[in-house]
Structure 1
Amino acid sequence: MPERWWSDSFKKSNGYFGCETTRQAEIVTGFNTWAYFETKYTRSNVLYEWTKLNIFTRWVSSTKQTFLLLFDPKLSLRESILQSLSKTAISQLTVPFWPYPYVLEVLACLEEPAVWAIRDHVRDIEKEFHPSKAPRPEYRRLHDIARHAIHVSENLDVSVQNIETILKHYDLYIVSQGSDSYFGADEDIRNQIDFFRGYTANLRFRSISNEKRLQNEIQLAFNIVAQANAGISVEIGRAAQIDNSTMKTIAFVTLAFLPPTFISSIFSMSFFQCGGDNGWGMSDKFWLYWVFAIPTTVGTILVWQYWHKIFPGVHHRKPVVVPMLKEHA
């Protein structure tokens, strides 16, 4: 095995394919390939599960034997690959790439449920909308599903690229054997690999469609909540208008009764006397009222004006904005 295949960068990769011809004294002794695929399956409760397919093959030219190593497979995955490999025709064993059609078959069986699981989540979201009910979208759940959908599409993109790389190296291998065309087992293997390339590419289109549908639902949820908030704002505005009209009425009534109140206050003071034998009378000290009233009024107005200039933030604080529908933020 190549030493770089054990490096951390390869372990953290999201997928790859590589191959090399081994020689000893200019004599071909074998052909090695290594490949890595990932799939992500999202369950109904939005929990997920990663499945990693990490294989290494060694084809020995002298005996036409192939050794296949499968690293850390799940029991179900190992049984699926062994069952798929049991279908191999004897005529195909002479080709170093013969395990890949069967490995890709197992990979396709993992990728298809992953794509349809995202589709089921999207479909459930699409059926949740009820115009008669208040909008209460679960944004955290929507974004979690979107994250899983992105990972599924990424895995499919990498798988398609890996399969195309396998086909390219397969063609180079056939050419290196001195044949410019495919016959028999060579042609069958290539056709099978090419079939899974197209199949995986079509799954990728379905996955892209899931992402677009999900983004459409997320945008719809935002718009519905924004529309509901706008409706609440309109109702608040109408209530404010009603309050404003009420305040105008109160202000008008207050203004209408202010002059009579002022006049009655003036004549109720001890400066004026009425009734009795003397009739109407007014004290010669009435000027004291104006001496105190006018300066006090002017002083109050001046203090109010300069108070707002010196301490502008005391009476002009920023309003506290209370977010509506806080549970959807």
Structure 2
Amino acid sequence: MPEVWQSDHLNNANGYFGCEATRDARGASKVTGFNTWSFFEVKHLPEDLNKYTWSKLSVSTRWLRSTNQMGILLLDPSQDISTPLVTPDPRKLNDPFWVYSGILQEVARLQEIAVWKIRNHVRNIEKQAEEEEKKKQEEKAKEKEKGNESMSLGKRPEPEYRRLHNIARHAIHVTESLDVAVQNVDHIIRQHEMYIHARRNLYAPLTSQDTPFEDISSRLSFFQSHIESIRHRSISNQKRLQNEIQLKFNEVAQYDAGVTVQISHAARLDSATMKTLSFVTLTFLPPTFISAIFSMSFFNYDRDLGWAVSDKFWIYWVFAIPTTIITGLVWQYWSRIFPGLSSLHVEKEKPKGVPEQGYEKQFSDLPV
């Protein structure tokens, strides 16, 4: 067992691969064996997000050239690892990398399961959103059939943001383990090619009896392609999940914008009501003011003669009617006659020390 495999700094690693040749102590150039060590980990996310598990595959191998014997050590394997992990093939025992065909097959199997578990979570979120949208459209259709096309927004969306982000966090871990697995496979293939090249130079060119080397190389390349395709699916899961999270944010923003529109509509109605009250007040205020300031009393009641109206009553109307008309016209055209005075209050409320362009840009950048 190589000493580096037992070092403390590798305990927290998320994956690695290493190898070295062993040589005869009497001759430094004579290769007597070949050692490898590797580590793969896979994260599994069940329906209960709090019960996620890790599959860990830590392997150390030692190959003896003289007998083509292979020693395999699994350190603390998880229970979901297939047994037997590898099946020896007598035709391939002269290649120290034959064991990695079985190891990578197991890694690909575990990664496939992990990615599809994430995919199931993502698909459930998508289906839930589709059902909610379908229900919303049916409710709108019913309201339209009843002739009720009001601005009702329905219930405010309440997305489970924490759950969505937890799934996204686990999806990131799955993709991370796949990235490391792809890196390890690349390293394994590169080291295998170097081993074949060194063997060809030291011993003899490969013959038809050495085709197992080519078979193992082809098998390693296959698993490289397979694990890479699983990685692309994992990345797709992340993008789909991020798309759903963004959709939830947009739905809440759309609802809040609808509430703002309703508030604005109600404010316009209130403004129209206040304008009507102001007009009524403006109509009766000038005549009332004239009558009060001049103490005009045009009506008199006598028990014998009854009600009597002063013959000067016309004077009241001579002053009241023109005053009311002039006041109404001034009120109507005040902002057009004195446009500077209408914006004076807004100018005074601008913050001190803020340039005019910067002040206007503050509000031009606000989302509509």
* Counterparts of residues 1-329 of structure 1 (less than 5 Å): 1-23=1-23, 24-25=25-26, 26=28, 27-47=30-50, 48-77=52-81, 80=82, 82-85=83-86, 87-129=87-129, 130-131=132-133, 132-133=135-136, 134=155, 135-178=157-200, 181=206, 183-263=210-290, 265-266=292-293
SS of aligned partner of 2:214: helix
SS of corresponding position for 1:22: strand
Residue 275 to residue 185, structure 1, CA distance change in 2 (3 Å): closer
Tell me the secondary structure at the aligned position of residue 164 of structure 1.
helix
- After TM superposition, give the deviation of residue 12 of structure 1 in Å: 1.9
One-letter code of the match for 2:93? L
What secondary structure does 2:49 align onto? Answer: coil
Asked if structure 2 preserves the Cα contact closer than 8 Å seen for 1:37 and 1:52, the reply is yes
User: What residue is the counterpart of 1:302 in the other structure?
Assistant: none
Letter paired with 2:277: I
Q: Percent identity?
A: 52
Which structure 2 segments of 5+ residues have no match?
A: 137-154, 302-309, 311-347, 352-368
The structural deviation recorded for 1:155 is 1.2
Q: Deviations for 1:39-79, whole angstroms, at most 9, x for unmatched residues?
A: 111112233212111111111223322111111112332xx
**What's the CA shift string for 1:182-212, capped at 9, x where partnerless?**
7332222222222111110111111121122
Paired residues of 1:36 and 1:53 also in contact (CA < 8 A): yes
Q: TM-score, normalised by structure 2?
A: 0.67
Could you tell which deviates more after superposition, 256-265 or 235-244?
Answer: 256-265
Question: 1:149–1:211: 8 Å Cα contact kept in structure 2?
Answer: yes
Give per-residue Cα distances to partners, 1:108-159, cap 9 Å, x unaligned: 1110011111111111111112224453322222222222222211211111
> Cα RMSD (Å) of the superposition?
2.6
1:7 to partner: Cα distance = 3.2
SS at 2:96's partner residue? coil
**For 1:258 and 1:49, how far apart are their aligned partners in 2?**
81
Task: Report how far residue 28 of structure 1 moved.
Answer: 2.4
Amino acid of the residue matched to residue 245 of structure 1?
A
Q: TM-score, normalised by structure 1?
A: 0.75
- Corresponding residue SS for 1:33: strand
Give how far 1:20 is off: 0.4
1:174–1:180 CA contact under 8 A, matched in 2: no
C-alpha distance in 1, partners of 2:258/2:108? 49
2:55 and 2:80 in contact (8 A); partners too: no
Report the CA distance between 1:4 and its aligned residue: 3.4
Instruction: For residues 272-325 of structure 1, give each alpha carbon's deviation from its aligned partner in whole angstroms, at most 9, with x where no partner exists.
Output: 9x989xx9xxxxxxxxxxxxxxxxxxxxxxxxxxxxx9xx9xxxxxxxxxxxxx
Q: Is the 8 A contact 1:56 1:70 kept in 2?
A: yes
Give the gaps of 5 or more residues in structure 1: 280-308, 313-329
